[in-house]
Structure 1
Amino acid sequence: MVLGAGSWCARLTRHRAGLNFALLVVAYVLYLTVGAGIFSAIELPYEGELRRELEEARRDFLSNNTCVSDARLEELLARALEASNYGVSVLDNETGRNWDFVSSLFFTSTVLTTTGYGHAVPLSDLGKAFCIFYSLLGIPVTLFFLSVVVERLVVLVARRPVSYFHRRWAVSRSRLAVIHAACLSAVAALLFIFIPAWVFMALEEDWNFLESLYFCFISLTTIGLGDYVPGETHSKEANPHPHLYRLAITVYLLLGLVCVLVVMETCCELPQMRLLRQMFHQENVRELDSETADIIDRDHMSDQMTDVPDHMTLDQFPVIPSVSEQAESLRQSNTSVPYTPASGSAVNGNLR
């Protein structure tokens, strides 16, 4: 019995990563199910109330306008809804255009960043075909561009500050990384969500603060439901410079998306997040002898010494040979077993 229990425990330990992954899948499916249930319980009564109001308004209109038949009214409403789905409103449709240059620039930015509000879509077959080929090339290019920009910004606003304060204050790097990520997230939320929400509340006459906050969050997370799109007012007095306003929104969305990606990348690089991810995948790590492990530790030290303080030069540090050079010297001296190269991730570590 004891041997059986020990074998079962060893088997459980060996497959712990797979069990953790299975629990993660179950938890995610449960999260989806609970979210669907909550949304249904909250929104279904509002949908039913709106349906009753529309039906009452339709009956009142037909009763007050007996010269209009139910079929003709339904035909008009269907045509108006179809045009609205293409971004053309039946209400004062001479006030704005969806496909002037600035509006088209706004459209391309939402398409390539996969935000996709859906308030303006190509009307012609040629436009739909061009959108396919344009997105097919543009979305990968946009992702590559954003990854390069984010990588440079992460070095500038995340890694260098953490390294600087780690050397200056001699505080744990992991603790500094958590504090820095929290501060960076708070500043990003203030600059790109809360303050813009207050600005949109002031500029969009029909939006309250919650609706403005909702728009900023939905847009910067690239969800882009399209139920709230700024600049859609039909009053020139409320929006005297629509093109400038739309251009400013385009710039805001691009900068905000970059900021969100920088925050996400900073949080993903936290040591705590790396340990959490390691719970869900099994790594095949070879057993290393003590001398080889010591070589790898010293190589890690040489990587950490690349961040040189301002008052010191590289000449003041001892030159540490690479792992391959030290392993070759060990083979020649026959003082240990032949060195077996470890995997790239185990040797080089995270250079970030």
Structure 2
Amino acid sequence: MMTSDGPGWKRMVVLFVLVVVYLCVGAAIFSHIEGDPEIERRLQLEAFLKNFIGYGNLAPRTYPGKVALVVYALIGIPITLIMLNYLGQLLTRLSTRVNKCRLCSTKPLVNKVLNMVLIVMLGLTILFILPASAFSYFEDWTVLEALYYCFVTLSTIGFGDYIAAMSENSLGTRGLEDVYRVVTYVWILFGLAYLSLLINYISNVFIKKAEEMERLTKEKLEAEVSRLQQELSKTGKSVYKTAANVKSSVKGKVWEAPSNGIDQETGSVTLLRIAQLDES
């Protein structure tokens, strides 16, 4: 019954419960009708986002294409590795020639450090700084983004969040874009060879340091073992000499157990007693 003050609390509670039940029933109905299609749409969206970023943007979709890719890769990867090895050898010869330069003839160590700095700076300039500047201009990237792309690509990390020569750029014409792609691929090949050379050089430095530490440790260990052997030899001679003196001092004596193990005067326990032999 309505009053002048409005509905009572009991009726309000009943209406509130009724609304909540109605909403729950509606949620269950729509979840039953739209639940599976919504899950399917979410899965499709996740699959699209997963395939949208990365080097997988150019990937075979058919089963014959995938089989052909496996066969093609099994032949192409060894050939590419052989070519990269050959490029690495050429770069090694070039770095050896640069390393023979006499920038500081008076100090060989300083000259070696300067030559190595020169090799690293030339490589970084040719394969990182200049390409990053070009990518920043043609791809409309920032300098940091271009440097990030250069390192990720040449280190074979390859996240694929930045891809050069694949999307629209500032070149405009198709012919220039093709030349741009070819130059990019050549840069990748030489960059892989250079970075492999640099990593091998750093690895060799660490290996040489480890071998030197192992050699020094071995020499110290051998010296310590030799010292211990000399000490043991001296100790053995001393023991032999002491034993000979003891033997000569107890000559003519015999070791025998006491009749009773307790000294009557002092009350102490006697373990052994030396008796003088009667000499005839």
With the shorter chain as reference, the TM-score category is: 0.5 to 0.7
Which whole-Å deviations, capped at 9, do the CAs of 1:160-210 have from their partners, x for residues lacking one? 3334539x93643x55333222221122112211222122111123x2221
| Residue 276 (1) aligns with residue 209 (2) | yes
Give the match for residue 133 of structure 1.
71
Q: 1:281 to 1:222 in 2, by over 3 A?
A: farther
Q: Paired residues, what number? A: 183
2:158 to 211, 224, 230: 224
* Alignment map for 1:1-352 (pairs within 5 Å): 78-79=43-44, 82=47, 85=50, 117-155=55-93, 157-163=94-100, 165=102, 169=105, 171-172=107-108, 175-205=110-140, 207-233=141-167, 235=168, 239-241=172-174, 242-268=177-203, 273-278=206-211
Aligned-pair Cα RMSD in Å? 3.7
Q: Is the 8 A contact 2:55 2:158 kept in 1?
A: yes
Q: 1:266 to 1:214 in 2, by over 3 A?
A: same
Q: 1: distance between equivalents of 2:110 and 2:85?
A: 26
Letter in 1 for 2:157: I
Q: 1: distance between equivalents of 2:60 and 2:211?
A: 45
In structure 2, the gaps of 5 or more residues are 1-33, 219-280
Give the match for residue 297 of structure 1.
none
Q: 2: distance between equivalents of 1:86 and 1:125?
A: 18
Q: Is the 8 A contact 1:200 1:212 kept in 2?
A: yes
More relative contact order, 1 or 2 (CA 8 Å, 6+ apart): 1
Q: 2: distance between equivalents of 1:213 and 1:169?
A: 35
Which whole-Å deviations, capped at 9, do the CAs of 1:306-348 have from their partners, x for residues lacking one? xxxxxxxxxxxxxxxxxxxxxxxxxxxxxxxxxxxxxxxxxxx
- TM-score where L is the length of structure 2: 0.52
Q: Is the 8 A contact 1:198 1:212 kept in 2?
A: yes
Return the offset for 1:222.
1.2
Give the match for residue 111 of structure 1.
none
Q: Is the 8 A contact 1:231 1:246 kept in 2?
A: yes
Q: Is the 8 A contact 1:154 1:265 kept in 2?
A: no
Q: Is the 8 A contact 2:139 2:170 kept in 1?
A: no
Secondary structure in structure 1 of the residue aligned to 2:95: helix
Q: Is the 8 A contact 1:181 1:266 kept in 2?
A: no
Letter in 1 for 2:142: N
Letter in 2 for 1:278: E
Q: 1: distance between equivalents of 2:131 and 2:73?
A: 28
Q: 1:178 to 1:268 in 2, by over 3 A?
A: farther
Return the offset for 1:85.
5.0
Give the match for residue 234 of structure 2.
none
Percent identical: 23
- TM-score where L is the length of structure 1: 0.43
Which whole-Å deviations, capped at 9, do the CAs of 1:11-43 have from their partners, x for residues lacking one? xxxxxxxxxxxxxxxxxxxxxxxxxxxxxxxxx
Q: 2: distance between equivalents of 1:204 and 1:243?
A: 14
Q: 1: distance between equivalents of 2:142 and 2:35?
A: 36
Give the match for residue 340 of structure 1.
none
Secondary structure in structure 1 of the residue aligned to 2:113: helix
Q: 1:78 to 1:245 in 2, by over 3 A?
A: farther
Secondary structure in structure 2 of the residue aligned to 1:118: helix
Q: 2: distance between equivalents of 1:70 and 1:231?
A: 42
